[in-house]
Amino acid sequence: MAQLDMPVTLADLQRHRARRTVPLRLQHRQGDVWNLAPPTQGLASLAILGISDRLAMAEADETETVHRLVEATKLAFGLRDAHITDPACLAGDSQALLEPAALQALAARVDERRAAPWGAGKGPGDTVWMGVIDNSGLAVSFIQSIYHEFGSGVVLPDSGIVWQNRGAAFSLDPAHLLALAPGKQPFHTLNPAAARLHDGRVMVYGSMGGDGQPQTQAALFTRYVLQNAPLQESISRPRWLLGRTWGQSSESLKLEGRFAPETIARLRALGHEVEVLADFTEAMGHAGAIVRHPDGLLEGAFDPRSNGSAAGF
């Protein structure tokens, strides 16, 4: 880095300490759901589920499911963009934003008849999610990213390690919530999820995809937990993405082409700017999940949009 005249020094790296943090927790009517605290967007993923938990998702048809979750996403992303930064710079308690009264107030803003206006999101990433549950029941939800195909483009010559690029999240505006400052942690999109349901099931799940991560998590959780779809079907069914995809600036609501024409037409009638993509597009992320059932049965599912897999040993 010194050879490249980068401002990060060896002393900066030596001062860094990894910290074990307490995850955020959502009390959902189906059980407890956990995700990572700031500076990740775990708050947004939990907020989508918390808002939609108040919108009768179990009885929703396909159009209602997409519309309600998209509207919940807009509200959750607003929460994210207003609050998430380095924990040392937070003005309040992130967990308090997931309290029932706060979520109910957000849910009350969802209009069943009209899509709310939508602005810019945070953009995509370059990420891999992995999950594992062993025969003792120990469950891990894990995610890794270098942010862009080759991260920062800086490679350590002695090891071949590629440095990640999460500093791209900083703003050069000193008044911005994510203003660049010495020792400050950048916002990032990584947020592996886990749930312990009231019926005894334990679930780890996640996806790659930047802004798409919370949306894919919401689709998977809603279909599997609330609408009782099989786990693999919950991942394989057509998905949607609100906002930008990799290398694209479009802020439309993108739908895979496998959605029913009636669903697409109804969403447009609700005011969504719909863009139809390929039937199985990588723009929708690569999701995965493992569920441990109360009798000890382990069930895994992977995304047909990816080269991932589910395996038991």
In a domain, 173, yes or no: yes
Distance CA 102, CA 222 (A): 21
Residue 48 in any domain: the answer is no
274-287 confidence digits (pLDDT tens)? 999 999 999 999 99
What mean pLDDT, rounded, does the chain reach? Answer: 92
What CATH number does residue 271 fall under?
3.60.20.40
Of the two residues 142 and 49, the one the predictor is more confident about is 49
> Per-residue pLDDT for 121 more than 80?
no
Residue 157 counted as domain residue: yes
Query: Looking at residue 146, what is its pLDDT?
Result: 82
**Model pTM above 0.85:** yes
Mean pLDDT within 49-72: 98
Rounded mean pLDDT, 224-249: 89
- Which structure tokens are listed for 41? 């967007």
Longest dimension (CA), the chain: 60
**Closest alpha carbon to 111 in 158, 144, 68, 162:** 68
- Span 24-45, mean pLDDT? 96
* Cross-strand pairs, 242: 253
The number of distinct structural domains making up the chain is 1
Residue 124 has pLDDT above 70, yes or no: no
First to last CA, the chain: 42
Rounded percentage of the chain residues whose pLDDT exceeds 70? 96
Whole-number Cα distances in Å, 46 to 19, 217, 259: 22, 9, 26
Q: Where are the beta strands (DSSP E) in the chain?
A: 24-28, 31-35, 127-133, 139-145, 193-197, 202-207, 240-242, 253-256, 274-277, 287-292, 298-302
pLDDT greater than 80 at residue 123: no
pLDDT in tens, 91-106: 789 999 999 999 999 9
Q: Average pLDDT of 62-81?
A: 96
Is residue 89 a part of any domain in this protein? no
Q: Is the pLDDT of residue 245 over 70?
A: no
Banded pLDDT at 193 (limits 50, 70, 90) = very high
Catalytic one of 40, 63, 73, 127: 127
Which pLDDT belongs to residue 26? 99
Report yes or no on 109 lying in a domain: no
The first and second tokens of residue 137, run together, are 């029941």
Q: What is the CA 267 to chain-centroid distance, rounded?
A: 22
Positions of E strands within 146-260: 193-197, 202-207, 240-242, 253-256
Active-site residue 189, yes or no?
A: no
Are the beta carbons of 266 and 247 closer than 8 angstroms? Answer: no
Write down the pLDDT at residue 59: 96
Provide the CB-side half-sphere exposure for 21 (13 A, CA).
Answer: 19
Residue numbers of the domain that contains 271? 28-35+117-302
Residue 250, pLDDT above cutoff 80: no
Which carries the bigger pLDDT value, residue 210 or residue 226? 226
User: Is 290 inside a domain boundary?
Assistant: yes
Structural domain contains residue 101: no
170 occurs within a structural domain: yes
